[in-house]
Amino acid sequence: MENSYCYFENRACRYYPCHEVENDEMNCLFCFCPLYEREHCPGKPEYINSKGRIIKSCMNCTFPHKAENYEIIMQFLKKKAETER
CA distances from 62 to 19, 30, 31, 53 (A): 7, 10, 10, 24
DSSP for residue 7: B
- 47-74 tens-digit pLDDT: 999 999 999 998 889 999 988 999 999 9
> Position 5: which residue type?
Y
Answer yes or no: are the C-beta atoms of 74 and 42 closer than 8 Å.
no
DSSP for residue 15: T
Which residue intervals of the chain are DSSP H helices?
Answer: 70-83
Give the pTM.
0.77
What is the mean pLDDT of the segment spanning 76-81?
81
Query: Using 50, 70 and 90 to split pLDDT, how confident is the model at 20?
Result: confident
Query: Using 50, 70 and 90 to split pLDDT, how confident is the model at 1?
Result: low
